[in-house]
Amino acid sequence: MINNSLQDVFSELETSLIRIEILVFFSKNPYAMDIGRKFAQWIRRPESSVITELDYLARKGIVDKMGEGENAIYSLVSDLDIVQAIDEFAKTLAKRRTT
C-alpha cells in the first residue's frame, strides 16, 4: 500500500506531466485552438485533468481562454516571447530524451 505522501508526489508528477505535454503540444501546434475535450484527445490524457491544466496555464498568462464551461476555447497566447520560450523548453526536453 502506498502512503499518502508518496501518493501526493505521484499526483503532482502526473499533473506536471500533463502540463508539459500541453506545452509541447503547443510548441508543435502554435496555432491550435479548440475546446478542452479536443486537447485531451490530442494528447491522450483525461479530459478533466487537461482542462484543469489548461485553466492553470490561462491564469498564468500562457494560454488564452475564451468562454466558460465545456465550450471554452483554448489557444496559445500570441506573445512572441512566450511562444519562443515554450519552443525552447520543448527543444530542451527533446534533447534530454535523446541523450
DSSP 69-98: GGG-EEEE---HHHHHHHHHHHHHHHHHHH
User: What would the mean pLDDT of 69-79 be, rounded to a whole number?
Assistant: 95
Please check whether residue 48 is in contact with residue 38, taking contact to mean a CB–CB distance below 8 angstroms: no
Which pTM was predicted? 0.84
Count the domains in the chain: 1
Q: pLDDT grade, residue 94 (50/70/90)?
A: confident
Q: pLDDT grade, residue 99 (50/70/90)?
A: low
Taking only the tens place, the pLDDT of each residue in 15-60 is 689 999 999 999 999 999 999 999 999 999 999 999 999 999 999 9
Q: Is 66 helix (H, G, I), strand (E, B) or coil?
A: strand
- In CATH, what number is assigned to the domain containing residue 24? 1.10.10.10
**For residue 19, what are the domain limits?**
4-98
